[in-house]
Amino acid sequence: MRSRIVGTGSYLPAGVLTNFDLEKRMDTTDAWIRERTGIERRHIVAPGETTVDMAEHAARAALEAAGRSSAEVDLIVVGTCTPDLQFPNAGVMLQGRLGNLGCPALGVEAACSGFIYALSLADKFIRAGEAKLALAVGAESLSKITNYNDRGTAILFGDGAGAVLLAADEEPGILSTHLHADGSYLPLLRCSGGVSAGHAPGGDYITMAGSEVFKIAVNMLARAVDEALEANQVSRSDLDWLVPHQANIRIIQATARKLDLPLDRVIITVADHGNTSSASVPLALDIGVRDGRIKRGDLLLLEAFGGGLTWGSALVRY
């Protein structure tokens, strides 16, 4: 038994922070941000709106797209590094909203790779016969840990959520997933404080060594993509779509070049929502499905790279 994507969903909060808004707050310009990142705007949660709120919207959209009821879901995995509470985890909180009480529900913290990790776990539960209908979600309220006095990070991050519904099927949809991490790179991309280590003076914020992260990300993502293709004896030319982590346009372009893949076969949504961490891959996937670019039978390569460092890929027959 394998798993197949039967529904996708996404959610972006109504609040929008444009490059022109940032011009008023720091030494930057719209042109400078667009040239270096490809980002034009970010969506920001409203006061009182939370990560689980967004995850619920995305999950319900995926269920509706599949024509399935939340009562049928027997596994929930939520990737996030910005949960509502320290505990219970975001998966349990989402389960409480959906009402499918009793099934396993968990949160996964792998920063921007969180959705790929969640998708891999959900797929393996179904392969093992432990679940028949699983929700894999990526959701983030990164505005809560973004330092808007730091130009290097403030221009990048936004809020949002994306979800996929996986169903058991004899025909494979998720062909394979490949997960990696290397904790020796911790200082390059992290949140500055936490519960056990102690909160940072002035607040717990994202810190990043941008140029170093860029170089590592391009190389590791290309290797993760090749790993997925080799594991399934598939060539780059067989891919219909690359659905990458929407970190910034330069990383996406560099990864596509390494794959000899034209940009018209890459789902790019970073301009509208910036880097939404674990939400960015399912957001891009849902947009590609709903606007008709991604069609049933297409071969997709999903990939992401995040703090930790973590990275991963998934080859999917949609």
- State the catalytic residues: 112, 245, 275
Q: What are phi and psi of 182, to 5 degrees?
A: -145, 100
Q: Nearest-5° angle of CA 22, CA 24, CA 28?
A: 55
Alpha carbon distances (Å) from 40 to 3, 159, 275: 36, 14, 11
Q: Per the structure block, which two tokens stand in for 137?
A: 């979600």
Cα distance between residue 160 and residue 158, in whole Å: 7
Cα distance between residue 301 and residue 229, in whole Å: 9
Q: Per the structure block, which two tokens stand in for 120?
A: 């891999």
Alpha carbon distances (Å) from 184 to 79, 181, 308: 22, 9, 8
Q: Nearest-5° angle of CA 306, CA 174, CA 243?
A: 45
Cα distance between residue 144 and residue 49, in whole Å: 11
Residue 281 contacts residue 138 (beta carbons within 8 Å) = yes
